[in-house]
């Protein structure tokens, strides 16, 4: 998309994750000379040893899609080509009964999309833009802040690079953020919640079809723990187990105990996933922590740096809004840059002043939604059954 307003400047976007990629495209549209510095290898290389192990699919909703459209309708169509609409939550009770709770009455839906596929498609888009350079295997270690020039340093004797400003999109353990904190009275809060997640796999049918409804987000709510499953375009589902750490730690000590637990609590899912292989995955797959990050302000006041995405506001995944919200950051930031005709200092300060309240609210909603997904959906359903029984 061509824009009439063009601004000058050399920008480092730190992190070629989902949010860094979208930000790079939007900044390049505005005429900036963009260099993306990413510490991983190119995920599109077949022999990469550096796979991103986090969930292999994500829910993308209206918030994220709207931000993609803001950067370009064509881009949006291209990168969302294989997303799978999910019109409701399919609740599985312990006896294998299923009940669908629709997200809305007017066909509202969220969508499941491959995280790796979306990231690679966005990287392909970056490759096609002449004023974007991507430097993989460039792990940022330090930034020397100046009045007008910012010098970025990297590991492994990579040459330092100089920029007019830095956009930190380097995720929840952001180095850009910690470097900004050396130059700024930034309030910062990081909190781990007592919840571990393990990714599991439900294969497609032999003929490539889906073994459960493909247009729902499946939930097996069991109070203090739960299983969820999102469909993939190839007929499989990415399944995620969430539970307190102490429960996972005690289960993984014995395969038999793990099998008993899975079979007792998720019998219908185990019929489809295979009890033995799922118990092996449960024991051996990485155990992910979940944390929330909040900080304020998001920027250096002279317009030399700003944080977006998880670097600014990592949230727990129960509202499915981390990436969506990061995409929205890009839209809001670009609107402010346009409003103030590229005056970064004014635009970045306005971003911090206007964005914080929304980000705190969504972080809180995400935490509260764990209880909704793992417990409250059950009581909604039981009330429905009770009413049916009573009639
Ligand atoms: P990241 O994806 O973390 O990308 C940061 C990039 O920066 C990485 O490529 C990293 O290699 C790079 N980097 C890090 N440090 C450096 C450095 N020093 N130098 C250079 N590069 C560096 N969100 C949703 O919207 N919907 C969902 O359904 C959803 N489900 C989730 C499920 C789980 C289990 C989890 C854990 C999260 C989920 N999220 C979801 C949240 C979503 O994954 C994140 O919000 C999103 O990935 C953030 O994108 P990002 O680009 O800001 O950060």
Ligand 1: residue of 24, 58, 110, 172 to mutate (most ligand atoms within 8 A of CB) is: 58
DSSP alpha helix (H) spans, the chain: 18-29, 62-71, 73-79, 115-127, 175-181, 245-251, 255-265, 267-273, 275-284, 310-313, 322-339, 344-371, 377-390
Q: What is the Cα–Cα distance from 305 to 282, expressed in whole angstroms?
A: 41
Quickly state the pLDDT bin for 71 (edges 50, 70, 90).
Answer: very high
Cα of 54 vs centre of ligand 1, distance in Å, is: 8
pLDDT (mean) for 72-91: 96
**63 Cβ contact partners less than 8 Å away, ≥ 6 residues apart:** 321, 324, 325, 327, 328
Q: Is the dihedral of CA 246, 250, 253, 254 positive or negative?
A: negative
Say how many Å lie between the CA of residue 15 and the centre of ligand 1.
Answer: 9
Residue 385 has pLDDT above 70, yes or no: no
**Arithmetic mean of pLDDT, 369-376:** 75
pLDDT of residue 369: 86
Pocket test for ligand 1, best of 109, 170, 290, 320 (most atoms within 8 A of CB): 170
Closest alpha carbon to 297 in 289, 285, 308, 286? 308
What does the angle CA 266 – CA 267 – CA 273 come to, to the nearest 5 degrees? 85
What average pLDDT does the segment 351-368 reach?
Answer: 95
**In angstroms, what is the span from residue 314 Cα to ligand 1's centroid?**
8
Half-sphere exposure of 169 (CA within 13 A, CB side): 30
Write out the residue limits of the CATH 3.30.9.30 domain(s) in the chain: 192-288
Q: What percent of the chain has pLDDT over 70?
A: 93
What separation in angstroms does the CA of 359 have from each of 87, 96, 173, 251? 26, 38, 18, 36
Does the pLDDT of residue 41 top 80, yes or no?
yes
CA-nearest residue for atom 34, ligand 1, is 55
CATH of domain 192-288: 3.30.9.30
In this prediction, residues 67-88 reach a mean pLDDT of 96
The two three-digit tokens of residue 211, written as one number: 């073994």
Distance 310 CA to ligand 1 centre (A): 6
The protein residue whose alpha carbon is closest to atom 12 in ligand 1 is 15
Ligand 1 pocket, residue 321 CB under 6 Å: yes
Residue 15 CB–ligand 1 contact under 6 Å: yes
Measured between its terminal Cα atoms, the distance across the chain in Å is: 58
Whether residue 320 has its Cβ less than 6 Å from ligand 1:
yes
Please check the confidence at residue 62 and state whether its pLDDT lies above 80.
Answer: yes
The strand pairing partners of 348, in sequence order, are none
Q: What is the mean pLDDT of residues 40-59?
A: 73
Phi, psi torsion values for 253, nearest 5 degrees: -70, -25
Of all protein residues, the one whose alpha carbon is nearest to atom 4 of ligand 1 is: 17
Ligand 1 centroid to Cα of residue 146, in Å, is 28
Q: Which of 29, 16, 127 is nearest to 78 (CA)?
A: 127
Identify the DSSP state of 2. Answer: -
Question: Of ligand 1's atoms, which has the minimum distance to the CA of residue 308?
Answer: 52
39 CB near ligand 1 (under 6 Å)? yes
CA distance 64 to 17: 15
Nearest CA to ligand 1 atom 35: 317
Note the pTM of the prediction, 2 decimals. 0.94
pLDDT at 376 over 80: no
DSSP state of 375: I
**Res 377: pLDDT:** 64
Ligand 1 probe mutation, 39, 173, 232, 292, most atoms within 8 A of CB: 39
Supply the ipTM of this predicted assembly.
0.99
Task: Ligand 1, residue 174: give the atom nearest the CA.
Answer: 15
Per-residue confidence band for 107, with pLDDT thresholds at 50, 70 and 90 = confident
- d(C-alpha 224, C-alpha 244), whole Å: 7
pLDDT digits (tens, 9 = 90+) for 314-359: 999 999 999 999 999 999 999 999 999 999 999 999 999 999 999 9
Q: Do residues 199 and 239 lie in contact, with contact meaning Cβ atoms separated by under 8 Å?
A: yes
Measured in angstroms, how far is the CA atom of residue 109 from the centroid of ligand 1? 23
Handedness of CA 273, 275, 277, 282 (dihedral sign): positive
| Mean pLDDT, rounded, for 132-153 | 97
How would you list the strands of the sheet with 110-114, edge to edge? 57-60, 110-114, 84-86
Instruction: Give yes or no for residue 309 CB within 6 A of ligand 1.
Output: yes
Evaluate if residue 391 carries a pLDDT over 50. no
pLDDT at 46 over 90: no
Residue-wise pLDDT for 237-265, tens only, equals 999 999 999 999 999 999 999 999 999 99
Say how many C-beta atoms besides its own lie within 10 A of residue 388's C-beta.
Answer: 8
Instruction: Give the mean pLDDT of 275-301.
Output: 97
Name the residue with tokens 């007017």. 106
Domain 10-87+112-190+291-373, CATH homologous superfamily name and number: FAD/NAD(P)-binding domain (3.50.50.60)
- pLDDT given at position 373: 76
What whole-number distance in Å separates Cα of residue 145 and Cα of residue 166? 10
Residues 161, 150 contacting (CB under 8 angstroms): no
Q: How many CB atoms lie within 10 A of CB 39?
A: 20
Confidence of residue 133 (pLDDT cuts 50, 70, 90): very high
Mean pLDDT of the chain: 92
Q: Residue 1 — pLDDT band, cuts 50, 70, 90?
A: low
Q: Where in the chain is the domain with CATH 3.50.50.60?
A: 10-87+112-190+291-373
């Amino acid at each position: 998309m061509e824009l009439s307003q063009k601004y000058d400047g050399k920008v480092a976007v730190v992190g070629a994750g989902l949010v860094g990629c979208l930000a790079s495209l939007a900044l390049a549209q505005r005429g900036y000379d963009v260099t993306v510095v990413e510490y991983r290898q190119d995920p599109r290389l077949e022999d990469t040893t550096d796979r991103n192990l986090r969930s292999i699919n994500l829910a993308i909703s209206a918030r994220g899609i709207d931000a993609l459209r803001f950067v370009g309708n064509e881009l949006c169509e291209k990168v969302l080509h294989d997303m799978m609409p999910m019109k409701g939550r399919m609740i599985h009770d312990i006896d294998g009964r299923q009940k669908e709770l629709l997200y809305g009455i007017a066909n509202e839906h969220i969508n499941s999309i491959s995280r790796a596929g979306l990231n690679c498609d966005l990287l392909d888009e970056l490759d096609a833009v002449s004023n974007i350079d991507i430097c993989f295997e460039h792990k940022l270690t330090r930034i020397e802040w100046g009045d007008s020039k910012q010098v970025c340093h990297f590991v492994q004797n990579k040459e330092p690079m100089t920029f007019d400003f830095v956009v930190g999109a380097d995720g929840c353990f952001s180095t850009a953020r910690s470097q900004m904190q050396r130059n700024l009275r930034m309030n910062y809060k990081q909190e781990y919640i007592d919840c571990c997640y393990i990714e599991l796999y439900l294969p497609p049918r032999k003929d490539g079809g889906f073994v459960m409804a493909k247009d729902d987000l499946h939930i097996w709510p069991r109070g203090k723990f739960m299983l969820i499953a999102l469909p993939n375009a190839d007929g499989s589902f990415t399944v995620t187990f969430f539970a307190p750490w102490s429960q996972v730690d005690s289960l993984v000590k014995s395969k038999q105990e793990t099998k008993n637990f899975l079979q007792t609590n998720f019998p219908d899912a185990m019929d489809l996933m295979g009890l033995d292989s799922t118990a092996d995955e449960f024991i051996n797959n990485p155990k992910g922590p979940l944390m929330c990050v909040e900080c304020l302000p998001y920027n250096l006041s002279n317009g030399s740096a700003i944080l977006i995405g998880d670097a600014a506001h990592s949230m727990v995944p129960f509202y499915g809004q981390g990436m969506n919200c990061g995409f929205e950051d890009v839209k809001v930031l670009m609107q402010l840059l346009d409003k103030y005709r590229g005056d970064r200092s004014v635009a970045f300060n306005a971003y911090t002043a206007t964005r914080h309240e929304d980000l705190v609210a969504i972080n809180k909603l995400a935490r509260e939604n764990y209880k909704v997904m793992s417990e409250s959906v059950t009581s909604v359903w039981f009330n429905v059954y009770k009413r049916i029984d009573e009639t």
